Structure 1
Amino acid sequence: MYRVWNFIANYSLLLISGAILALVWVNLAPNSYHDFTEMVLIDNFFIGHAHVDANGHIHRTLTLHYLVNDVLMAMFFAIAAKEVWEAIILDEGSLRGKKAASPLVATLGGMIGPIVVYLGVAAVLGSDVYDAVAKGWAIPTATDIAFSYLVGRIVFGAGHPAVRFLLLLAIADDAGGLLILAIFYPSAALAPSWLLLSVVAAVAVFFLANWLPRRMDRGNQLRPNSTWVRKTFGAWPYIIAGCLSWYGFQESGLHPALGLLPIVPTIPHADRAFGIFAAAEAHLHDLLNVMEHGMKIPVEIVLFFFGLMNAGVEFTSIGAPTWLVLAGLMIGKPAGILLFGWLAAGPMKLGLPQGMRIIDLFVLGCVAAIGFTVSLFIATVAFDGGVVQEAAKMGALFSFFAAVVAIVAGKLAKVEKQHLE
């Protein structure tokens, strides 16, 4: 049984509240809003925005915006990475085997389609527009798991196979989004040697706190060494390794919000998982699940501040990037998922889940067009602050209208809702 309503309440309402507050604040008092988001917390610090002074020395300034987007959002991406990791490596993982083949192909279409539409329409609008917005090509590739899952249940019913298909697609989409952020959107000039710090931290904590105790316990069902390590040190070895890895990402030029990703696979995990929305997840007591549950309330608070820091867009900023992001999401997503899903089901002979039709792929694509959280995040790293970034953010916010489009598409496609028995 899925606990989707609790998930939406816990993870999304605070995010929406922060976004609404930001929109109201910036349109009533833009100066005070921007002063708040760019508030300097500590100057000449070891973390923060890098600046070169008059003498050519680099120093960092920690602002409230940097603290939220680059430091604290690392916890959000760690949770996303945990779900992707489970889906890939566990024997019953949702992204393993033939059952994941069609959703993975459809996911590829759901990322290529928006890019083609975004860049294609930009090219039609002229070279000036294209040059100004080209860096934002990845913004419409994202799918917001929580909101799309909620709308998917409304459109298809909780028991429809398209909902499971959508969840697999959204998880795979998250994995693709993390790769895009890491490869195409560095936060500064690349210094790859610093990634050795992340690699060493991950290897060391896996060897000393995970592999070695289990190796020493081989053949002993009581697992005395593993138990001693966990009771004595708890999550601290992984927290310390996470801090080192995060710092390595910051100094390497990769976006530091992804800095915890190398550590997630090193944390002990049970050989099963029930899924991101499953109530039974609360009863798994392996360290990775315990740490995820421990981050639940902090991440809720972080998402509120993420919405507050990033959704402050003046309505006068609406422009070409707004419509390009929307076109990529609301035209490119459904078209790409439909085309590639059809290729998977037909010519590639991978099939669709029993009870799911080809036309359901289009409806599902409309649901997946809700970008919001990750689209908003990519917009902040794709463009420097200014008119283009603000307009692109508005497109990410407007992607909520995809929910209405999806509901209408479901009616027109005569989707028969299926409920859990």
Structure 2
Amino acid sequence: MSARRFIGLRYRRNVAEALRTETVGGVVMLLAALAALVLVNTPLATGYEHLRLVEFGPGVLGLAHMTVEHWASDGLLALFFFIAGLELREELTHGELRNPRDAALPVFAAAAGVAVPALIYLAVTAGTSGAARGWAIPTATDIAFALAVLAVAFPGAPSALRAFLLTLAVVDDLIAITIIAVFYTERLRPGPLLLGVLCLVAYAVLQARGVRSPLVYAPLAVLAWYFVLRSGVHATVAGVALGMLTSCRETPDDRPTNAERADHLLRPLSAGVCVPVFAFLSAGVTLDAPALRAVFADRVALGVIAALVIGKFVGVLGGAWAAVRLRLATFGEELHWGDLAGVAVLAGVGFTVSLLIGGLAYGDAARFTHVTTSVLIASLVASVTAAVVFRLRARRRAGPAPDGPVV
């Protein structure tokens, strides 16, 4: 092997390894969104819009009219949700969700963190035509970006706090994908859906039998994605289902499980390509004074901001407090309410899934642009506020121990 090839392989391995960390993945996604914002607010905006609307795909499969933007949301995000499904399966098998007592705190926090923002959104937008379709926009916390903020702003965070945030975000994603399947499926085609389910069943049976070859699973996964897409159900549902069906069963010879192998192979692709491309194609909005005035004059946009910034904080922290108060969940020794308050603020970073649901809720370009801008504003406010809270918590932890209990 030549020295140049060896260096190239080592470089690719280093890049892939970096993309497996939440911090790097979150930064790449942020840079992609910033690139879109820069392009749209320069003379290159026309070229950016043309790129989003380019249509391509195999006509024989009925995909000829899929735009680049649709491929990103229906195709690339399916891989993102596959990784989310793997994380959920891992949590159910080996993580916080394995023990109901340990899982109760983030699960109750996640449930309240979905319900309260939805209620705040509906209250702010009451009486606005068509506003009710967007109630689910503030549902999910962006895993990559939230964990990146936590890692940068609070490097000494206890492992229990990171586990709480990860479990909260994974449960959020599960609720979000259920909402997408139930409330944003306008026309259901039973035939393709049945074929998609059969592909998922075959995938699950092979996983249960211990088959390990990716050459067997890749065609089944693509077929399941295609049939679910053609059924009218959003294709990301197939992604999370495939992830949850991937085996975490340990092997006698200590080889990586199917889930570990899939995560190792596909996470860099999701973090380095899929999510950044989706962010780049979704985050391009005009940020001049007239555009911002229009956003703050739109009650739907204001509802999204209030729901993410206020609703998520109240819901997550209030849900956790109520669960502990009612003795439905236990509060770990490593956790403190001040740290949990920071996570509750950080839960308002709803970037990826919020933009996805916003696109499903509003086909009108102007309304979707307002929603996108509001999600960006809310995510920025939530991340900066959470970073400040975590910095204060880090200083308090580093200082002399207080006389009373840590709050």
Q: Which TM-score band (shorter chain)?
A: 0.7 to 0.9
Give the match's secondary structure for 2:96.
Answer: coil
Q: CA deviation at 1:205?
A: 3.4
Amino acid at match of 1:402: A
Amino acid at match of 1:295: L
1:243 aligns with 2:246: no
Give the match's secondary structure for 1:378.
Answer: helix
The 3 A distance-change label for structure 1 pair 385 and 162 is same
d(CA) in 2 for partners of 1:194 and 1:138? Answer: 26
Alignment of 1:50-89 (within 5 A): 60-88=64-92
The 3 A distance-change label for structure 1 pair 156 and 347 is farther
Amino acid at match of 2:365: G
* 8 Å Cα contact 1:360-1:415 kept in structure 2: no
Give the match's secondary structure for 1:62.
Answer: coil
d(CA) in 2 for partners of 1:178 and 1:356? Answer: 29
Partner of 1:26 in structure 2? 40
* 8 Å Cα contact 1:198-1:249 kept in structure 2: yes
The 3 A distance-change label for structure 1 pair 84 and 418 is farther
* 8 Å Cα contact 1:371-1:396 kept in structure 2: yes
Give the match's secondary structure for 2:138.
Answer: helix
Partner of 1:55 in structure 2? none
1:366 to 342, 345, 351: 345
Between the two proteins, what is the percent identity of the paired residues?
29
d(CA) in 1 for partners of 2:336 and 2:228? Answer: 44
The 3 A distance-change label for structure 1 pair 117 and 156 is farther
- What is the TM-score of this pair, normalised by structure 1? 0.80
Partner of 2:324 in structure 1? 345
2:312 to 325, 328, 333: 333
Q: CA deviation at 1:328?
A: 0.4
1:292 aligns with 2:294: no
d(CA) in 2 for partners of 1:412 and 1:9? Answer: 20
Partner of 1:95 in structure 2? 97
1:104 aligns with 2:102: no
Deviation readout 1:146-196 (Å, 9 max, x if unpaired): 22223334248322633332222122112111211221122x411234221
Aligned residues: 369
d(CA) in 2 for partners of 1:297 and 1:411? Answer: 29
* 8 Å Cα contact 2:23-2:149 kept in structure 1: no
d(CA) in 1 for partners of 2:245 and 2:106? Answer: 27
* 8 Å Cα contact 2:23-2:145 kept in structure 1: no
d(CA) in 2 for partners of 1:67 and 1:292? Answer: 22
Amino acid at match of 1:240: P
d(CA) in 2 for partners of 1:359 and 1:375? Answer: 26
Partner of 1:318 in structure 2? 295
d(CA) in 2 for partners of 1:139 and 1:61? Answer: 26
The 3 A distance-change label for structure 1 pair 338 and 159 is closer
Give the match's secondary structure for 2:21.
Answer: helix
Deviation readout 1:234-256 (Å, 9 max, x if unpaired): 21221111122112211211111
The 3 A distance-change label for structure 1 pair 160 and 200 is closer
Q: CA deviation at 1:410?
A: 4.8
Gaps of 5+ in 1: 49-59, 215-225, 273-282
1:304 aligns with 2:276: yes
Partner of 1:120 in structure 2? 123
Partner of 1:222 in structure 2? none
Q: CA deviation at 1:79?
A: 0.5
Give the match's secondary structure for 2:397.
Answer: coil
* 8 Å Cα contact 2:177-2:237 kept in structure 1: yes
Deviation readout 1:320-354 (Å, 9 max, x if unpaired): 23322111011001111122111111123523111
Give the match's secondary structure for 2:124.
Answer: helix
Amino acid at match of 1:304: P
Give the match's secondary structure for 2:56.
Answer: strand
Amino acid at match of 1:347: L
1:132 aligns with 2:130: yes
The 3 A distance-change label for structure 1 pair 361 and 298 is closer
2:236 to 254, 257, 280: 257
The 3 A distance-change label for structure 1 pair 368 and 318 is same
* 8 Å Cα contact 1:17-1:307 kept in structure 2: no
Partner of 1:53 in structure 2? none
Q: CA deviation at 1:9?
A: 4.9
d(CA) in 2 for partners of 1:414 and 1:7? Answer: 21
Alignment of 1:228-239 (within 5 A): 230=212, 234-239=213-218
* 8 Å Cα contact 1:160-1:417 kept in structure 2: no
- Tell me which moved more, 14-23 or 39-48: 39-48
Partner of 2:397 in structure 1? 417
Q: CA deviation at 1:412?
A: 7.0
* 8 Å Cα contact 2:181-2:233 kept in structure 1: yes
d(CA) in 2 for partners of 1:349 and 1:71? Answer: 39
* 8 Å Cα contact 1:379-1:393 kept in structure 2: yes
* 8 Å Cα contact 1:26-1:312 kept in structure 2: yes
Amino acid at match of 2:262: M
